[in-house]
Amino acid sequence: MVENRRTRRTQRALKSSLIELVLERGYDAVTIEDIAAEADISRATFYAYYRDKPALLTQIVLDLQGELAARLERLRLRENSYFSGEALRILFEHAEEERDAYRVILRGEGDGTALRIFVDTRTEAAKEIFLKRAEVTGTQFRIDPEILTRAWVGEQVTVLLWWLEPEERPIPAAEVAQVLTDLSVHGRMWASGFDEVPEGTF
């Protein structure tokens, strides 16, 4: 039990150190020696937990995704055909709580590896929900579900990064989630002020 607590404490310290140093200096400028010193451990202890710096960054994004998935799990227990946008609110609230980790990921630090993992994981989760909704409602996709879900996740990534960068959020999490929900439900033409698609639009 004591060893488990020590392990978790060391891993948290290493992840926090990498995030802090990357935001301060940029990923490429941070060394394993820097991370170990910031976490107040030896270089050998670092290697006892992680193969290298990319492995530590990958673990950060995997842990973050795991935490988010756990929060979203309860929504799966009451799946229906409706899109309430609650999952978006949960995502933005989680991002606000873990702002620094999200910023490191969404900025594409570490040659974009963490961002690719984040996007791929969110895309798979979204596609599963979209496919389930189509099955329940008996609807047919008008575009490839892979493109649909990647466009959906791409919107979230772009808006998240814009929203998280300032020290103070431009608008509350629930409000920005509602904006994206409205966009998803009504479409871009509606958001641009059109009540119906103008003739000749393609």
Q: pLDDT, tens digit, for every residue of 34-71? A: 999 999 999 999 999 999 999 999 999 999 999 999 99
pLDDT above 60: residue 201: no
Residue whose entry in the numeric block shows the structure tokens 């933005």: 92
Residue 189's contacts (CB-CB under 8 Å, 6 or more residues apart) are 196, 197, 201
123 and 153 Cβ atoms separated by less than 8 Å: yes
Structure tokens at 13: 């310290």
Average pLDDT over every residue of 116-125: 95
- Rounded Cα–Cα distance for residues 19 and 36 (Å): 13
Report the CATH number of the 57-187 domain: 1.10.357.10
Average pLDDT over every residue of 169-193: 92
- The pTM (predicted TM-score) of the whole model is 0.89
Average pLDDT over every residue of 118-140: 91
Fold of 1-50: Arc Repressor Mutant, subunit A (1.10.10)
* Of 58, 52, 59, the residue nearest 33 (C-alpha): 52
51-67: b (≥16 Cβ within 10 Å) or e: eebeebbbbbbeebbee
Q: pLDDT, tens digit, for every residue of 10-26? A: 999 999 999 999 999 99
Report the C-alpha dihedral over residues 100, 104, 105, 106, rounded to 10 degrees.
Answer: 90
pLDDT cut 90: percent of the chain above it: 72
| Extents of the domains making up the chain | 1-50, 57-187
